[in-house]
Structure 1
Amino acid sequence: MRTNLFTSLLAASAAIASPCAYGLEIDGRIDPEEWRGAQRIDDFRLTQPLSRAAASQPTEAWLLATPGGLAVAFRNHQPAGVPRLRQHTQRDGNATVDRVNLYVDFDGDGRAGYNFTVTLANSIVDTTITSENQFNDDWDGDWRHATSEDDGGWSAEMLIPWHIAPMRDVADGTRTLGIELDRVIASTGERTSWPAVHYTEARFLSAFNRVEVPAYSQSLLAITPYVVGVGDAVGHDGDFDAGADLFWKPSGKFQLSATINPDFGQVESDELTVNFSATETFFSDKRPFFTENQGFFDVPFGSYNTNSRLIYTRRVGGRTDDGLGSGDVTAALKLNGSAGGYNYGLFAANEGDEVGRDFYAVRATRDFAGFGLGAMVTRVDRPFLDRQADVYEFDQRWTPNPQWAIRGTLVASDVEQSGRTLRDSGGQIRIDYDMGGGWRQQLYGLHLGKDLQLNDFGYLERNNFNYLRYDLGRRVTDLPADSAYASHDWHYAASRRYSDDGVHIADAFAITRRGELRDGGNEFAEVALWTAGHDDLITRGNGVLRVPSRLFVNYERLLPRQNGSPWSLAIEAGYSADGLGGIDEGETQLYLEPNYQFSDRLILFAGVEYTHAPDWLLWRGGNRLGAFRADSLVLDAGLQWFIDDKQELRVRLETIGLDARLKQAYRVDAGGRPLAVDEAIPDFRVRNLGFQIRYRYELAPLSYLYIAYVRGGEMFEEGRMERGVGREFRDAFDLRDSEQLLVKLSYRFEI
């Protein structure tokens, strides 16, 4: 669908040039005079459930391109009989609340987009969108928003500056945007959209309505210096640091980002994890420089999930090559722009110390009607290891019609280290076909060469891997009116995994069902069976282990607040039989997260997880494995108090207690068989603690004062001690490896 706003806006050029249009007041109150000349939209259709039927509650929206930015207003009719759920949340927070969404593809080519969310309480979420429906909320943009409320419903206004994203140059003074608008009524779970597409569909970003607007351009020069001081009561020392981020956007077709000594996000701590697997833990990145315009470099590759990618920005400033700390990022630079019909990007970062690394990336894309091409080259120089790693990438996407979507990526790595060269390649393809009537199919194929090396700059869970997966999906939306469910989304999947060496890892069969309930909650259930096969990672290159059939069962349920109750509850339960004991000796897991909302501004949360693993198989060096009886108890609790629109107080406590006792020791023989041996492998215990009290004051948009008290510690012990998981959990509260007071000030100057 294509809508021509350009003609109507030219006809209203006098209004655009008037003080009212230039001074559009974003106050949440929709003034007809201010929105004169805007396109009015009222054809919102149900997309949750995805019936595309008429909505139960009317929604009106207005879309207006102004010299100051893209403006959108929502009028959400909601009488007293339909409860309104509001709750203040931190930026990018997740809560079951009434909200509206603006999705924008500024180039209208379906390659990259942005999502701007405003809740009834005027809290916000902003994310980038790549690969049709992959969302990343690490990025924070500078845009305006406001809400208001009355007896008949509530309203929201947004203003998105044109400099917020790089945009391709246009020749005729007209820009074609991809736009979707939607609204969520939290008490019923109903989502209505224009156009009627949902982000879980294979084609989302490329299915937006095309809207033509005048090709406005804005410039921006923003400098954000920061200073941070830290005092440690345990180490009896302190530290002071300073740096700055710079964003220069003379126009949409050229944008420059730079940083000196970038802040590593000291006030945004990572979640506590316990990881004994052969795959590293993935962490997000909230550093402003590394999230600004980063979506252009986000090329997912190497896994069916969304974590694997060719550029993993946490590598920059990550653990040093000598293993003695984190890299000191001296400076970094990023360019994004367009020229001659091509989009381009350049990334460079330097770690200045003697064990530092240099990171480089160059990417270019070209898009045509329904077809797009992209290519990227990355290089990492690692002098301490005498290593240079180059990666070459080529990607394509083709959407010939609304039914088909085909995406593919080819990758090659070329690594030289200490005079030795290692080269290999990989590729992936994903084919989606919408058959209509709620049915769709997907075929996904992946090849990762044995010597493919991507983790100098990227994040790849493993190499030496081949994966083929077929998925048949069916969406059911015509459920009876008296059903507790509004819709079901069924998936039936079959897959095969094997290594490049010809080792059969497993075949798998899975059935999943995701249900949307009429109480505003949702439900997820999955059953997956893996055939007998091999584990070629667990021994870290010291043999391939034969493993029996495996069973995985998972259930999740969200019960939101109902009928004025302050309580909500999230439940997860799982059974994972992936050890040597077979299906009868699986790991059981239960997670409960009750939340209590004292008011719209004060909420208490507490997530408790208990896991019992009677046959937890771990690597213990060489070809030796240990099967453990293990119990773990995890607590993630805290409160959030939004004192006013500028001030926030957050308290968070994370604690882990784990107790593992040896059940049996094994050696893996040359044929891959686990042989029980009488060898001493010690029991072990783990304790982790993370505690933070953080006060934040918003001085101006993207300008903050933080005061944080942080205490943490971890303990790993081996040896036989009859303590139990309860004792480990309680003793975790006594950990005190560090106890810090942190003060950080950052202020964004716009010139």
Structure 2
Amino acid sequence: MKTLVSVSAALLVSQSVIAEDIKIDGQLNEVQWHNATAYHDFFKVVPATLEVTQNKVQGLVFTTEEGIYIGFKNFQKEGDRKKQYNLQDGFMQADFNRFVIDFSGDGSGAYQFSATLGGGIQDAVLTPQLTTDFDWDGVWQSAFYEYPDYWTNEIFIPWQTVSFRPNRDEQDLASVGVSLQLYELAKNHIYGSQQQTTGKSDFYLNMPKVLAQIPTSQQWSFVPYITSEQNFIADDNNIDIGFDLIYKPDHHQKLSVAVNPDFGQVDSDELVVNYSTVETLTTDKRAFFTQDIGVLNVTAEQNTRLIHTRRIGAGSDDGTEQITPIDAAGRFVHQGEHWQFAGFAVHEDDLESDAGKEFYVGRARFRQDNWQSGLLVTQTERPWLAREAKTAAFDSQYQSETWSLQSALLFSDIKQGKVDYGTQEIDQQGYGLSANVKYQFNPNVSLAGDYLRLDDQFENNDLGYKQRNNWRVTELNYNHAVNYSDGFINQVKHSIDTSYQSTDNGLKLPALQAYTASFILDNGATASASLKYFTSGWDDLIGRGVGLYQSNSTLSSRLFYGSPYTGEFSWAASFQLDEEGIDGLAQQYAVDMTWMPHHNWSVKFNQFYRIGDGLVIGTDPDQVTQFDRKFYVSYLNAAGLITDNLELSFIFQWVILDAKTDSVYDISQNQLNKQVGIDNSFTDQRFTSQIKLRYKLGAYSDIYLVYNRGCASFDDDVGSHKWLRNLNTLWQERDQDQFTFKVRYLF
């Protein structure tokens, strides 16, 4: 179903004059809303019965020279709706409206926004491959208002919020894609203005369109910042001052320059205990890197990326700095009718040892109707290692009413010279191939397949991310949902996954086969049951890349239940029973609880506990140890509003891993040989805490007061300390103790 709403240029001009008086207060009482384009028919898209309704929600849209206005009337009575505030991009436990805007109107990319009954917001980038990145933060306004029989949302998004190429017709009117939704919390149902969700291959093709008069406009933005950090352990204070300067000659072009840029993240990363040889992938909320993601994005399977921006500003190559200062950075974007160009360059501080790095990225992409292809190239200079790393990707995407196809050819070229401190000479070139095909039979049935091949010389970790190289992965996924109009179950979704993995030279690796049944209950609760089977295969990574051994097949089962989100208290619990390791068995318990004493405040208390005797870690080259392990994670988060613009949040996370040696094996001639008299037992305990005050001055304008405290302890004295007593010791012997004051302001 394709919809194009025609609006005359005269009406648009008249609206732009009046719209200057619009106040974003949620009430929708200005005269412009009476003349707005109205969306009356909404379809139930979750569960995907596609039944049409006019008594759940009504959408309103109009445009001005300044931007696009969106209004919602949600017909939920008092007592039947849930009101709750969430921090920006946090979990939304309230009724909310979600809307997707394709500013170019051609499917080259879109932006997703959400606004709750309660004032919480989320925003994200939606790529042409329909992947979602929530790290992006945009400049937009929203407000809600409550009436006895319904509640409303009022939103304004300036054209200058994003970079895009207006898709103008002969009358100089631009076509803008707009998709509107209501998420009904009490039932876990979603009602949309189109019959597709963002997970469907034809989502872009069927987005309803509005016509807008978008004037040519240039814009300057200046974002200075100052950060003062007091380190109580080192007893020193560090002050940073920098700025971002952004120039947009028009909507489709942008140049950003940063001097001593604001690359610091106020929020702490979540604690991760990872003893595998696969690196944990972390996200990046730094503003410089979250802009224009859709243009620079290249999708490859298994989270393989040529650009993983957390590499930039990370630890220095000489090991002296955990965070390397950045001197300057620049980025440009040009989005033409068919061609798009983008790139950025970053120069880290050289430091005294010349251990800083330089990063360069260039991107070109051509788009025609439902197909696009592009080239991404990167170069990383690491003088301290005498290393130069280049990568490239040639990618293509195609989408139709039923088909979605993505592919990428990958290439890497690494050159490294020999230096005095031990690096070896390297001159290697590697290759890779990624492909994904999805067929949508109907809104409830889909079949997808993906393939990834990385040869043993492919290397992209200087700027990118990969789980491993020397790898071939083939996966198939089948989803089939059955919807019910009566009874206590609204939907049952069956998911079947099968895969095959090997090294690039054909050595068979363990692979996952899985079945999951997911349920949406009529009272809004959710439940699922899954069964996973890992085939036997060679494990060539556990022995630190030196040895390999034949692992046994394993079976895993999991049960999950999530209570309805309505009310003052909600909870979710899961139980998992796994065969693991060489011959071990594990049990896993998780409970997540949320208490909402007020619509502006929430307290989350999450507990995770795993016990078993099959944790396998490579402890030396050609040696693995199987541990009898207890692993506990406790997470507490309290957050809310003190005043309309003042947020307070508190986070505390505590992680304990007690690993007692069960058995030790040497790997010899691809066989496990049990050893005696070796004890590799250890205890790993960590905690992190943060108290943050944020005063919101406006878009990209904030005052932060943040206190962080944390510690990590590693020893081999397993079981000799009480956990709570040890936590008190960690609190006193902290290795992180700092206070941060930060101000940034958008001019």
Q: With structure 2 as the length reference, what TM-score do the two structures score?
A: 0.94
Quote the offset at 1:206 in angstroms. 4.5
Q: Which of 301, 323, 327 is residue 324 of structure 2 equivalent to?
A: 327
CA contact (8 A) 2:614 2:628 kept: yes
The aligned runs of 1:181-330 (5 Å cut-off) are 181-303=180-302, 307-325=303-321, 326-330=323-327
CA contact (8 A) 2:84 2:119 kept: no
Q: Does 1:699 align with 2:697?
A: yes
Aligned mates of 2:319, 2:396 — CA distance in 1: 38
Q: Does 1:499 align with 2:498?
A: no
Q: Which of 497, 514, 522 is residue 518 of structure 1 equivalent to?
A: 522
Q: Does 1:160 align with 2:165?
A: no
> Equivalent residue of 2:405, what SS?
strand
Aligned mates of 1:205, 1:515 — CA distance in 2: 28
Which residue does 2:454 correspond to in 1?
A: 448
Which residue does 1:366 correspond to in 2?
A: 366
Aligned mates of 1:241, 1:560 — CA distance in 2: 46
Please identify, of 33-42 and 493-502, the stretch whose mean Cα deviation from structure 2 is larger.
Answer: 33-42
Aligned mates of 2:698, 2:306 — CA distance in 1: 35
Quote the offset at 1:719 in angstroms. 4.4
Supply the AA of the counterpart residue of 2:548. Answer: V
Which residue does 2:393 correspond to in 1?
A: 393
Which residue does 2:666 correspond to in 1?
A: 667
Q: Matched residues, percent identical? A: 26
Q: Which of 111, 134, 138 is residue 135 of structure 2 equivalent to?
A: 138
Aligned mates of 1:726, 1:203 — CA distance in 2: 53
Aligned mates of 1:336, 1:413 — CA distance in 2: 24
Quote the offset at 1:131 in angstroms. 4.4
> Equivalent residue of 1:35, what SS?
helix
Which residue does 2:467 correspond to in 1?
A: 461
Which residue does 1:88 correspond to in 2?
A: 85
Aligned mates of 2:76, 2:668 — CA distance in 1: 67
The aligned runs of 1:609-688 (5 Å cut-off) are 609-670=608-669, 672-688=670-686
> Equivalent residue of 1:290, what SS?
helix
Quote the offset at 1:547 in angstroms. 0.3
Which residue does 2:105 correspond to in 1?
A: 108
> Equivalent residue of 2:32, what SS?
coil
Quote the offset at 1:91 in angstroms. 0.5
Aligned mates of 1:434, 1:233 — CA distance in 2: 57
Supply the AA of the counterpart residue of 1:72. Answer: I
Supply the AA of the counterpart residue of 1:432. Answer: K
Quote the offset at 1:501 in angstroms. 2.3
Q: Does 1:125 align with 2:129?
A: no
> Equivalent residue of 1:163, what SS?
helix
Quote the offset at 1:504 in angstroms. 0.2
Which consecutive residues of structure 2, in runs of 5 or more, have no partner in the other structure? 418-424
The aligned runs of 1:724-743 (5 Å cut-off) are 728=726, 731-743=729-741
Which residue does 1:75 correspond to in 2?
A: 73
Quote the offset at 1:408 in angstroms. 1.0
Which residue does 2:421 correspond to in 1?
A: none
Aligned mates of 1:15, 1:644 — CA distance in 2: 37
Supply the AA of the counterpart residue of 1:504. Answer: K
Quote the offset at 1:698 in angstroms. 1.1
Aligned mates of 2:518, 2:246 — CA distance in 1: 42
Aligned mates of 2:674, 2:108 — CA distance in 1: 53
Deviations 1:528-549 (A, max 9, x none): 1011111111112211121000
Deviations 1:262-309 (A, max 9, x none): 233342110011111101112111111111222321222241xxx432
Q: Does 1:97 align with 2:94?
A: yes
Distance 1:556 1:170, change over 3 A: same
Aligned mates of 1:50, 1:437 — CA distance in 2: 6
Deviations 1:647-679 (A, max 9, x none): 011111111122111011101112x22111124
Quote the offset at 1:231 in angstroms. 1.5
Supply the AA of the counterpart residue of 1:579. Answer: G
CA contact (8 A) 1:297 1:345 kept: yes
Which residue does 1:180 correspond to in 2?
A: 179
CA contact (8 A) 1:132 1:205 kept: no
Distance 1:339 1:662, change over 3 A: same
Aligned mates of 1:452, 1:213 — CA distance in 2: 47
Distance 1:284 1:184, change over 3 A: same
Please identify, of 494-503 and 429-438, the stretch whose mean Cα deviation from structure 2 is larger.
Answer: 429-438
> Equivalent residue of 1:620, what SS?
strand
Aligned mates of 2:431, 2:141 — CA distance in 1: 45
Which residue does 2:487 correspond to in 1?
A: 482
Supply the AA of the counterpart residue of 2:435. Answer: I
CA contact (8 A) 1:712 1:735 kept: no
Quote the offset at 1:700 in angstroms. 2.5
Which residue does 2:48 correspond to in 1?
A: 50
> Equivalent residue of 1:740, what SS?
strand
Quote the offset at 1:12 in angstroms. 1.5
CA contact (8 A) 1:162 1:218 kept: no
Quote the offset at 1:14 in angstroms. 5.2
Aligned mates of 1:587, 1:217 — CA distance in 2: 62
Supply the AA of the counterpart residue of 2:87. Answer: Q
Aligned mates of 2:590, 2:304 — CA distance in 1: 26
Quote the offset at 1:128 in angstroms. 0.7
Quote the offset at 1:212 in angstroms. 3.5
Distance 1:578 1:489, change over 3 A: same
Distance 1:197 1:239, change over 3 A: same
Aligned mates of 1:659, 1:552 — CA distance in 2: 22
Q: Does 1:560 align with 2:564?
A: yes
Aligned mates of 1:363, 1:630 — CA distance in 2: 47
Aligned mates of 2:554, 2:55 — CA distance in 1: 47
Deviations 1:110-153 (A, max 9, x none): 23210111111122111111243321111111112111110111
Please identify, of 115-124 and 565-574, the stretch whose mean Cα deviation from structure 2 is larger.
Answer: 565-574
Deviations 1:160-181 (A, max 9, x none): 1111111125564232222211
> Equivalent residue of 1:15, what SS?
helix
Aligned mates of 1:683, 1:189 — CA distance in 2: 46
Supply the AA of the counterpart residue of 2:683. Answer: R
Distance 1:728 1:61, change over 3 A: same
> Equivalent residue of 2:643, what SS?
coil
Count matched residues.
Answer: 734
> Equivalent residue of 1:103, what SS?
strand
CA contact (8 A) 1:231 1:741 kept: yes
> Equivalent residue of 2:8, what SS?
helix
Quote the offset at 1:95 in angstroms. 2.5
Q: Which of 419, 427, 440 is residue 421 of structure 1 equivalent to?
A: 427
